A = this chain, B = another copy of it.
Amino acid sequence: MNLTLHGYWRSGAAWRVRIALGLKGLDYTAVPHDLRIGAQASPAYLALAPQGLVPALEADGAVLTQSLAIMEWLEPLLPTDALARAHVRAMAGAIACDIHPLNNLRVLQSLRHDLGADKAQIAAWEARWITTGFAALEASVARHGGRFAFGDTPTLADCCLIPQIGSARRFGVDLAAFPRLVAVDAHCATLNPFRAAAPAAQSDAD
């Protein structure tokens, strides 16, 4: 299958899909869109992905959007037991719905431009949602985790967790209260699919 991933090196949502593609062993062509200059709002990209967000995955002519939907479509990375699947999807949702959307670039830009938030207020905002969400995730990993966020096999939860930890570090959030999350991150950092998906490994990284 011919796969093209539209992304951006720093996009946490695109990073998730890069991990999932790597874990599936799927090759793809990366097309970067520089979010800092609004490249995702170009007419050509909007024709492909009307929401104007990355990632989008072209697969043999079809266009898939939304990182969770793309990763579900790849059909990887979920346990077989229904209840276990629900727990993994809940971990993924706790990040993809309750942390990441509050801290992505367009929202931080709105805080700054529309509400006049200063640097300290934005840093506090970023940290608030990350630490609130990570506290609950730490409890989930204590209950369900192993070498990975859920058990000893990588899942959707790790695809979401690793980029969110990367984002937390970039924002300077103290992770001392989340030793289990940090341990999962450290383990994943030893594995090729996670290493290849990291922002600094992308062709558009600066």
In the bound complex, CA of A121 to CA of B133 (Å): 26
Residues of B close to A64: CB separation below 8 A: 83, 86-87, 90
Residue in chain B with minimal CB distance to A106: B132
A111/B115 in contact, CB under 8 A = yes
Query: How many copies, total?
Result: 2
In the complex the two chains form, is B72's CB within 8 Å of A94's CB? no
Contacts A51-B98, A72-B85 given; does A115 touch B110 at CB 8 Å? no
Assuming the A-B contacts A62-B83, A64-B86, A89-B66, are A96 and B94 also in contact, with contact meaning beta carbons closer than 8 angstroms in the complex? Answer: no
Q: State the main secondary structure of chain A at its contact with B.
A: helix
- Whether the Cβ atoms of A121 and B111 lie closer than 8 Å is no
- How many whole Å from A58's CB to the nearest CB in chain B? 12
> Are B89 and A72 interface neighbours, CB within 8 A?
yes
Known: A51-B98, A69-B89, A97-B97. 16 other contacts (CB 8 A): A50-B135, A50-B136, A50-B140, A52-B136, A53-B98, A62-B83, A64-B83, A64-B87, A65-B93, A66-B93, A69-B86, A69-B92, A72-B85, A73-B86, A98-B101, A114-B128
